[in-house]
Amino acid sequence: MKLHHRRSRVPNRLIATFSLLLWPPYASAHLVTTGLGPVYDGIGHLVMTPEDLIPTLAIALLAGLRGPASGRRALLFLPLAWFAGGLLGSSVDGLPTVPVGPVSFLILGALVAADLKLSQKLFASIVIAVGFVHGVFNGVALKEGAGILGLIGIMATLFVIVAIASALIVSLKPPWTRIAVRVAGSWMAAIGMLMFGWLIRGQV
Amino acid sequence: MSTFSRRAGTLASVLTIFFSLGWAQVTWAHIEGGQAAGFITGLQHPWSGIDHVLAMIAVGLWGAQLGNPAIWLLPIAFPMMMALGAMMGLLGIPVPGVEIGIALSAIVLGTMILAEVRPKLAVAMAVVGVFAIFHGHAHGTELPLGQSGLLYSMGFVIATGCLHALGIALGLVNGLPAGKLVLRGAGSFIAAMGVFFLWRTLT
């Protein structure tokens, strides 16, 4: 009984503690983006940017379809490659406009939809390439704002997203769930194709 | 622990939550325009034309009637080929008789459901894929100015997928005793509507 009461009070305490986090006073030290600091700016950048978030999810889905070994590789290589690209991006002055988002959507979406049996080396190469290229563009974008700490926020978020999503996919047992993941991949590829159309038409 | 102290603890927690929420500071995040509007516009677009809606539901119904693996593969083929059609439209590649193709999609898919036609999987995917090009060409090229192309595309594809899912869900009646008849009735309705669309296009 006592244990039950102790448990029932835990959510209240957690919510109360969380609500206290909403209580910070104004701070004036370079917090002009999210107001929470550069690491949170990096986290916010990733989760609020579909061009980066959806390819990350696509890699997690692909890793999940390929099994735990691929999941572990994605978990290691994606954040590291992203960070390395980010460091490079933060040291250059500008980049030409490259349709990174649509290419990632199209290739990764098609790979998920086709459920191709990739070798571990090829899978790791794709993960590193995608992470590095997206990282370079993130590095350029965050250079004036969140900087390296922002990249660390992005890395942490990538790790969490890939860990949760790929583990979820690996755990799926019924055959239809695997096909549902492939349906999601086909949607990503379709979005990539539409994006290419808009790009060529000059509307995005 | 007594009931009184438990209640006092809960009350303290609730009061803390209440006052903390009132104390939140203003946050200034990146302000961007047209983002949500693009997604919502894309989400609404596939529902805006009854011909488009019926064809996409028909894909789901036919998939449900054909069973595994068509139930999943037809809704994979349709959005991808639809996006290809939209890309062709955006590139200015003409597709002759788009409106006729859309009307025919309702007629053919409705007839397939009505007659319970069970072609090979590749043939079924080809039928769905060809008609998806017409739908994509007609509907996927209308991005309003100032809206995000990416979010519009996401909304458009998700809404299309949801219509397929609706069709699949309705098609699950196929497993019920009178379900086959209901499904074939739905097929006849879609085919009849297709004839109406064709008549309206040609006159």
Other C-beta atoms lying within 10 Å of the C-beta of residue B194: 24
Contact A140, A92 (CB under 8 A): yes
Return d(Cα B31, Cα A35) in angstroms, integer: 13
For residue B198, which of B61, B112, B106, B131 has the smallest C-alpha distance? B106
Sort out which chain A residues have CB atoms less than 8 A from B21's CB and list them.
Answer: 19, 22
Binned at pLDDT 50, 70 and 90, residue A189 comes out as: very high
With helix as H, strand as E and coil as C, how does chain B read? CCHHHHHHHHHHHHHHHHHHHHCCCCCCCCCCCCHHHHHHHHHHHHHCCHHHHHHHHHHHHHHHHHCCCHHHHHHHHHHHHHHHHHHHHHHCCCCCCHHHHHHHHHHHHHHHHHCCCCCCHHHHHHHHHHHHHHHHHHHCCCCCCCCCHHHHHHHHHHHHHHHHHHHHHHHHHHHCCCHHHHHHHHHHHHHHHHHHHHHHHHC
Is residue A147 exposed (0-12), middle (13-18) or buried (19+ Cβ within 10 Å)?
A: middle
Please count the other Cβ atoms lying within 10 Å of the Cβ belonging to residue B196.
15
Q: Rounded CA gap, B153 and B39, in Å?
A: 7
Every domain of chain A and the residues it spans: 28-201
> What is the tens place of the pLDDT at every residue in A147-175?
788 889 999 999 999 999 999 999 988 88
CB B140 within 8 A of CB B156: yes
Distance in Å, alpha carbon of A187 to nearest chain B alpha carbon: 6
pLDDT tens string, chain B, 203 residues long: the values are 566 677 777 777 777 766 666 665 554 444 455 555 678 888 888 888 888 899 989 999 998 888 878 888 888 888 889 888 888 888 888 888 888 999 999 999 999 999 999 999 899 999 999 999 998 888 766 666 666 778 888 888 888 888 888 888 888 887 787 888 898 999 999 999 999 999 988 88
- Spatial neighbors of A13 by CB under 8 A, at least 6 apart, are B13
Cα of A28 to nearest chain B Cα, Å: 12
- Whether B2 contacts chain A with CB within 8 A: no
Q: What is the mean pLDDT of residues A98-118?
A: 88
Beta strands in A5-141, from DSSP E residues, in sequence order? none
Which residues have CB under 8 Å from A79's CB, separation 6+?
A131, A154, A155, A156, A158, A159, A162
Structure confidence at residue B112 (pLDDT): 93
Determine whether the interchain pair A191/B157 forms a contact, defined as Cβ–Cβ distance below 8 Å: yes
pLDDT at residue number A160: 94
A144 Cβ under 8 Å from any chain B Cβ = no
> Is B154's CB within 8 Å of A191's CB?
yes
- Cβ neighbors of B40 (< 8 A, separation 6 or more) are B155
Question: B24-76: per-residue pLDDT in tens?
Answer: 555 444 445 555 567 888 888 888 888 889 998 999 999 888 887 888 888 88
Residues of B in contact with A53 (CB under 8 A): none
Give how far A49 is from chain B: nearest CA, Å: 10
DSSP A58-95: HHHHHHHHH-HHHHHHHHHHHHHHHHHHHHHHHTSS--
For residue B83, the chain A residue with the least C-alpha distance is A190
> Which of B6, B31, B157, B168 to mutate to test binding with chain A, by most A CBs within 10 Å of its CB?
B157
For A:77-136, CB contacts with B below 8 A are 101, 113
Mean pLDDT for the stretch of residues A112-136? 91
Percent pLDDT > 90 in chain A is 38
Q: Please tell me the distance in Å from A119's CA to the nearest CA on chain B.
A: 24
Chain A residues in contact with B167 by the CB 8 A cut-off are none
Query: Phi and psi at residue A144, in whole multiples of 5°?
Result: -80, -15
d(C-alpha A31, C-alpha A28), whole Å: 6
pLDDT class of A26 with cuts at 50, 70, 90: very low
Separation of alpha carbons A22 and B25, rounded Å: 8
What is the rounded distance in angstroms from the CA atom of residue B57 to the CA atom of residue B47? 11
Find the distance separating the first CA and the last CA of chain B, reported in whole Å.
82
**A203 part of contact set with chain B, CB < 8 Å:** yes
- Neighbouring C-alpha atoms within 13 Å toward the C-beta of A3: 0
Q: Do A16 and B13 touch (CB under 8 A)?
A: yes
Does B158 reach chain A within 8 Å, measured CB to CB?
yes
Q: What is the pLDDT of residue A20?
A: 63
